Every structure is written in structure tokens, then in C-alpha cells.
């Protein structure tokens, strides 16, 4: 019971802060300062599931104690039988609830709730790498459809034989897109007979995936005074207007040298807005990477560290197998996986990371 009390004490110690945030959020002062209001709301949403779980756990412990009292002190056999049934129902749930609260009490990645910006680049393997990058894009496209997310392409450079040398897109939804997609950062390797190969030999190619948390309006202080704007004619599919109007936008952040471009919309203004969003996100990611590097020093699994040079997954077509090397997980139904059914793999990665987080908290 000492552990029960310790967990409850930890939750109760946060209850005062939670009530204070509720009061501040409804105050005119907070509403007048939008940056402060956004931060308060973020803090509130982070605490809300902890407080809710704590109250549920407290009631569970009280109900269990009351049922045990009835079993000891009550002579009515019918009431004693009801108490036994209640104990049998509650007792198995207690350890699960304790584990859930322990996880909730460990600070999560502060950006898990954000939307995500994803960049896929064809790596080693020439044309086949670009084709594989296209396959990965379609895999994420189908996964986004399953999750009900919105996908918007920002920039793309098609490969000469299909696929993409590079493609950048934004994923947005209301269920913590970055917290799910962050596990996809790294090098993805494919083993198969390339479409461009006439001898039928198996070749190994690779594509890199980088996933960034989308920066909010108040996350980065970005001024147009620090940006050089270049306009050019868009290339690729889109009809006659593509090559005749200066609708494509390139933004260069002068202090850092970061360059982003967008040419997916016919409207120069829309491309400018999208490019600005991506630039803000990439600048934010420079700071976010320091946080990820700090995690990498503690977590052996490297599950969500954003190490984009690490080989994380192999897609073996002759064997119909996909293997995630971080957790030694394999699935022998590659066509289904490539069709966007990747949730099981992500679930296993999350379980592995949660185990690391609990271990880290106990050290």
C-alpha cells in the first residue's frame, strides 16, 4: 500500500497546479496574451490525463478496501459474495493502472502532440532508391488515410525512372501526429530485384526519412527581415501555367543559411505561406534536435531520437519480410505493410520506448 500512497501523493501534488491552470486559462489576462494562453493550454492538456487517471485510481483503491472490509466484517453471505466479485474485478486492474500512472508521470516528448513535417530522400541505389522513396511516400499516404490525417505536399523532385529523389510533405491531425510518426526517422533499406535491373539480381537500396515536429506560430521568432525571397517558375506536372508563371517560392534564412522551397500550389501566396511554415519548422528542429540528442545518451533503443543516419528498417521483397532493427521485430506480410498497415510496428516501438522511459525514471 506504500506504493499506492506514493503514486497518489505524486498525482495529488500536481492537482494544485492543475486547478491553478484552470483558473488562469479563464482569466482575461491570459486571453489578452495569446503566447501565454497557448503555453497555459499546453500545460493544462499535459496534466489533464494524469489527474483523471489519479482520480480513477484513487476510487479503485477505495472500492477495493471497502470490498475487503465487507468480506472481513459482514456476515450476510450474499453481500460477501458481491464483495468477492468486486475484489476479483478490481485487483487485476490495480497494477495496470499503476503502470499507466507511472508512464504518465514521466515527462513525454514535449512535441508529441504537434503535426509533423516529413522529408523522404532517395539514398544509395540511384534510380531504384528514388523508386523506393516513392513506395515509402505511398505507404505513408495510405497510413495517413487510415488515421484520418491530412497530407499536403510542399516540395518534390521526381526521379528519372519514377518515385522521388526527394519529397517533403506535412501531416496534420488531432491525435498527436508527430508522436506517432517520429518513429519513422532514419534510413530505410530495401532488398529486391529493381525495376531497372534486367538480370534479375537482388539489389540493396536505401532512402532516408526525416520527421520534424511542426513549429507553431509562437515556437520560433521568425522575421521576414531575416529571409531572402526568390521566385521562380515551377517545374513538373501541372499544365501549361507551370513553366510560365513565377508561382514557385524559395526562402533562405540568412542567419543560418537554411533553404526551403514550395511549388505545389498555383498561387504564389499559398506557396509562400507553406514555405514559411516549413522554414519555421526546420529552425525549430535545430533546437529540438538538442533534446533528442539528450535522449539518445540515455535510451539504448534509440527509438525516437531522430538519428537520421541510423538504419532502422529493412524491407526484404524476396522473403516478403519487413524487419525493424531497433526492436528486432519482423512481419512476413510485406505487401500489407507497404499498403500503409504499419500501426502494429509503431505500437511495438512505443512499448519498447515506454519500457526505456520507466527504466530511465527508476535509475
Confirm whether 2-105 and 110-363 share one CATH topology. no
pLDDT of residue 296: 62
Q: How many CB atoms lie under 10 A from the CB of residue 37?
A: 17
Residue 240 is predicted with a pLDDT of: 41
More confident position, 141 or 44: 141
Q: Is the pLDDT of residue 63 over 60?
A: yes
349 pLDDT exceeds 50?
yes
Per-residue model confidence (pLDDT) at position 84: 93
Q: Which helix (H) or strand (E) covers residue 221, if one does?
A: none
| Per-residue pLDDT at 238 exceeds 70 | no
* pLDDT (average), residues 242-271: 83
pLDDT of residue 196: 67
Class of the domain covering 110-363: alpha beta
Write down the domain spans for the chain: 2-105, 110-363
Question: What is the pLDDT at residue 319?
Answer: 95
DSSP class of residue 236 equals: S
Q: Which three cell numbers, joined as nine digits, stand for 149?
A: 490525417
Burial class (CB in 10 A: 0-12, 13-18, 19+), 274: buried
Per-residue confidence (pLDDT) for residue 38, from 0 to 100: 75
First CA to last CA distance, the chain: 22
Give me the mean pLDDT over the 242-260 stretch.
82
141 vs 118: CA distance, rounded Å:
11
* pLDDT score recorded for residue 239: 41
Give CATH for domain 2-105.
1.20.58
Q: What mean pLDDT do residues 68-74 have?
A: 91
Query: Which of 226-230, 271-275, 328-332 ranks highest by mean pLDDT?
Result: 328-332
Cα–Cα distance list, 98 to 6, 39, 62, 90, 132 (Å): 11, 28, 14, 13, 43
* More confidently predicted of 166 and 34: 166
What is the value of pTM for the model shown? Answer: 0.72
pLDDT, residue 306, reads 47
Q: For residues 301-317, give the mean pLDDT.
A: 71
Q: How far apart are CA 118 and CA 281, in angstroms?
A: 11
Q: Which pLDDT belongs to residue 320? A: 96
Q: What is the mean pLDDT of the chain?
A: 85
Is the pLDDT reported for residue 136 higher than 90?
yes
Amino acid at each position: 500500500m506504500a506504493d499506492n500512497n506514493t503514486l497518489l501523493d505524486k498525482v495529488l501534488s500536481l492537482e494544485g497546479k492543475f486547478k491553478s491552470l484552470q483558473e488562469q486559462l479563464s482569466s482575461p489576462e491570459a486571453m489578452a496574451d495569446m503566447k501565454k494562453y497557448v503555453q497555459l493550454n499546453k500545460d493544462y492538456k499535459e496534466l489533464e490525463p494524469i489527474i483523471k487517471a489519479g482520480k480513477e485510481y484513487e476510487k479503485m483503491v477505495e472500492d477495493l478496501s471497502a470490498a475487503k472490509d465487507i468480506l472481513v466484517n459482514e456476515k450476510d453471505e450474499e453481500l460477501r459474495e458481491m464483495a468477492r466479485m468486486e475484489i476479483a474485478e478490481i485487483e487485476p486492474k490495480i497494477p495496470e493502472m499503476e503502470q499507466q500512472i507511472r508512464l504518465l508521470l514521466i515527462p513525454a516528448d514535449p512535441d508529441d502532440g504537434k503535426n509533423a513535417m516529413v522529408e523522404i530522400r532517395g539514398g544509395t541505389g540511384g534510380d531504384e532508391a528514388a523508386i523506393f522513396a516513392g513506395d515509402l511516400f505511398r505507404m505513408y499516404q495510405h497510413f495517413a488515410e487510415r488515421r484520418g490525417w491530412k497530407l499536403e505536399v510542399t516540395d518534390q523532385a521526381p526521379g528519372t525512372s519514377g518515385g522521388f529523389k526527394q519529397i517533403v510533405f506535412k501531416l496534420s491531425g488531432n491525435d498527436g501526429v508527430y508522436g506517432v510518426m517520429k518513429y519513422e526517422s532514419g534510413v530505410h533499406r530495401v532488398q529486391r530485384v529493381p525495376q531497372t535491373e534486367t538480370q534479375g539480381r537482388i539489389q540493396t537500396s536505401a532512402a532516408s526519412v526525416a520527421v520534424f515536429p511542426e513549429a507553431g506560430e509562437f515556437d520560433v521568432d521568425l522575421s521576414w527581415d531575416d529571409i531572402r525571397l526568390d521566385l521562380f517558375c515551377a517545374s513538373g506536372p501541372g499544365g501549361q501555367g507551370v513553366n510560365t508563371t513565377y508561382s514557385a517560392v524559395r526562402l533562405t534564412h540568412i542567419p543560418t543559411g537554411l533553404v526551403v522551397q514550395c511549388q505545389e500550389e498555383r498561387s504564389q501566396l499559398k506557396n509562400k505561406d507553406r514555405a514559411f511554415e516549413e522554414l519555421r519548422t526546420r529552425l525549430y528542429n535545430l533546437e529540438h534536435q538538442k533534446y533528442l540528442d539528450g535522449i539518445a545518451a540515455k535510451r539504448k533503443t534509440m527509438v525516437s531520437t531522430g538519428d537520421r543516419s541510423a538504419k532502422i528498417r529493412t524491407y526484404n521483397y524476396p522473403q516478403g519480410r519487413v524487419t525493424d532493427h531497433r526492436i528486432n521485430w519482423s512481419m512476413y506480410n510485406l505487401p500489407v505493410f507497404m499498403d500503409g498497415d504499419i500501426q502494429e510496428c509503431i505500437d511495438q516501438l512505443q512499448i519498447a520506448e515506454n519500457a526505456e522511459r520507466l527504466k530511465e525514471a527508476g535509475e
